[in-house]
Amino acid sequence: MDKPLPQPYVEPAFSPFDDRAYPLQYQSRPYGPTADNIPLTQHAPTSGWQEPYAKGRPPFDSTFDEGNTGDGENARADEARKKRRRQRQRRGSIPRGRTPWFVYAMTLVQVTVFLAEIAKNAVLTHSPIMIHPSFSPMIGPSTYVLINMGARFVPCMRSTPGVQDSQTPIQWPCPNTTSSDLSNPSMHCTLSELCGFSGVPNPHVGGKLTDQPQPNQWFRFIVPIFLHAGLIHIAFNMLLQLTLGRDMEKAIGPLRLALVYFSSGIFGFVMGGNFAPSGIASTGASGSLFGVLALTMLDLLYNWNQRSSPGKDLAFLMLDVIISFFLGLLPGLDNFSHIGGFCMGLVLGICLLHSPSLLRERTGEHKASSVDGGLLSFVRHPLAFFQGRKPFWWVWWLFRAGALIGVLASFIVLLNNFYTYRNQCKWCKYLSCLPVRNWCDIGNLHLTTEPATT
């Protein structure tokens, strides 16, 4: 009859992660006095020896490092996690592996639309870029082609003083014009032909601003986000979008970035429609990207102590903002879109981003709690979210709510002013131009019995 095979000897000290109970008898030597097949509990402890699992863990000898126990492994794992967290913080708290689909999709659409601009300009003017009557400094299509494709142009969006109430007929440049000669047939189009799409009601001589129907191409607050004035314009915007925009999407996700992106762009065009000269055809994602700049600056300030070189990062951002602002002072450019986009991005960043790290520690938000389970947890237990909060937490959240209400109220006021009151700010124009060489008059409509010029 075959004898059973002997059990292999396994010392507990060399298998600290085995959860199974070790047998009291071993086929080889036990710990303690040398003897075979004698229960360990019958041996008296010797000097320097402890009973296995006497304190809930295996015994150790002089060659075994206590740091290799389960507790030591957990400590090293925690330290490794902390190290990885510090590395992410030094990289700007941007998680790896998340693909910025929103930024990539917006870039693809905007580049495609720009190619369509070039193609339409080539069809209408027989040149992919404007070279007559003057060369486009942005290396792009004609201004009138951009108006026809959806640029923000006030006369296409509302009743404009001097247009709907004109006492003489007004001729407008056609989208295909390449001449500055007022007698050229391409300089004799109607407002509806210039605006394009489904057209707008053409003003009639002796009309009033209250005449119905009125021009109402409201979508020109949104469409210009996808249009660009030229190769230089789109190159700078896409460079910023594929760097700061991409990193910000990785940090906050596509939904929040999309909300800030479109809200900043629309708010910027609304502000420009109120304060910029009514003859400027405004295009570009600059307002949206100024909102992203504001988000990036807030993220830097919120996590200042966790960045490896926050001063350098802040200097880079401030330099970018200052250069863009001063470029907006050049004639024919709309700096109000930049200012409006930055303000909207700042307010939405305060509302959407996590609170500053120091503030979270002071209000206790940095500690995990049963109510910090996201939106779904808040919907299921709304009252539990507010229980046990510190007074400073309430102050901060009231400030965030006030900022959001303030920017929404400003948006409504600006829309009402644009469509109804049409009040003008006399000094605001100096935020978008320098008072030299009549730069601040560039972009105003010059209405005569001849074709209107911008």
Q: Where in the sequence numbering do the catalytic residues fall?
A: 286, 338
Residue 159 corresponds to which tokens in the numbers above? 């009743």
Question: CA distances (Å), 235 to each of 116, 242, 425, in order?
Answer: 16, 11, 33
Q: What is the DSSP letter of 242?
A: I
Residues 6 or more apart from 454 whose CB is under 8 A from it? 143, 279, 280, 281, 443, 445, 446
Assign residue 253 a region: left if phi > 0, alpha if psi is -120 to 50, beta otherwise?
Answer: left
Long-range contacts of 448-454 (CB under 8 A, 24+ apart): 448/168, 449/168, 449/169, 449/170, 450/171, 450/182, 451/170, 451/171, 451/172, 451/173, 451/182, 451/187, 451/188, 452/163, 452/170, 452/171, 452/172, 452/173, 453/173, 453/279, 454/143, 454/279, 454/280, 454/281
Query: Does residue 39 have a cis bond before it (omega within 30 degrees)?
Result: no
Residue among 230, 225, 229, 255 nearest 241 (CA): 225
Question: Rounded distance, CA 211 to CA 66, Å?
Answer: 89
SS percent in the chain: helix, strand, coil, step 5: 50, 0, 45
Where do the H-state alpha helices sit in 276-374? 286-302, 310-327, 335-352, 357-363
Residue among 232, 68, 226 nearest 139 (CA): 232
With beta carbons less than 8 A apart as the criterion, state whether 300 and 247 touch: no
Question: Rounded distance, CA 327 to CA 272, Å?
Answer: 16
With beta carbons less than 8 A apart as the criterion, state whether 224 and 282 touch: yes
Residue among 337, 332, 320 nearest 433 (CA): 332
What spatial distance separates the first Cα and last Cα of the chain, rounded to whole Å? 110
